[in-house]
Amino acid sequence: MRPSSDSGAPPSLQVLLWRRALDPHIGRWSLPGGRLRADEDVATSIRRQLAEKVDMRQLTHVEQLAVFSDPRRVPGPRVVATAFLGLVPSDVDPEVPEDTAWHPVDDLPRTAFDHESIVLGARDRLRAKLSYTNIGFALVPRDFTISLLREHYSATLGYRVSATNLQRVLSRRGLLVDTGRTAPSGRSGGRPATLYSFASHDVQITDPFAAFKPPGTGRERSS
């Protein structure tokens, strides 16, 4: 998953899907995946599958999402799937095969098997972790403006986030570092925006009781 990188369109969270060329569910969009080899663990397998099938190698974060074991999830012999959440920053835009494309999570095409449920489960996991961890580092470029950070949080959470409040919360947790540099000025000129980076690029629980909430539903809770 990644936030959209097209500045001309409303921000959205995207997922990489590829179109199945074989039955069952030929022609439907599905998550990249495959069988576990005898000589690898599941974490190694998922990185191999992404590299081989959709040429995706630049992941900033990977974590196990859940095991999907409904006996009816796949036609024919039973298949148990272990799903992973993988994140790609918005400035990474690798070339992908012709049968592969990024799709908005909130406007998915017809998917194969139970893959829509898996995608939505991954979205919900990411939304939750934005509240109580520093996982935002995996969505943005190494250096970013607060405006860009706000766009990416908004795209992931599904509602518009206040840039001022977001900076206040993350700064209070010690997550943001002022790089001492500024972004190039835009066409309209004006004061150049400060560039920030995340203090750590490993996932850390920063506030276990925090919860970002949409406007009008109450303030963020924090210990």
Domain ranges of the chain: 2-130
Report how far residue 109's alpha carbon sits from residue 216's, in angstroms, rounded to the nearest whole number: 31
Distance between CA atoms of 153 and 132, rounded to whole angstroms? 13
Contact 20, 113 (CB under 8 A): no
Q: Is the pTM of this model over 0.75?
A: yes
**Among candidate residues 102, 86, 185, the one with its CA nearest the CA of residue 135:** 86
Burial of 29 (0-12, 13-18, 19+ CB in 10 A): buried
Instruction: Select 2-130's CATH number: 3.40.190.10, 2.40.110.20, 3.30.390.10, 3.90.79.10.
Output: 3.90.79.10
pLDDT in tens, the chain (223 residues): 999 856 566 779 999 999 999 999 999 999 998 899 999 998 899 889 888 888 888 899 999 999 999 999 999 999 999 999 999 999 988 888 899 999 999 999 999 999 999 999 999 999 999 999 999 999 999 999 999 999 999 999 999 999 999 999 999 999 999 999 999 876 666 789 999 999 999 999 999 888 888 887 655 544 3
Helices (H), the chain: 42-54, 115-132, 146-157, 163-172
* 151: helix, strand or coil: helix
* Contact between 149 and 171 (Cβ < 8 Å): no
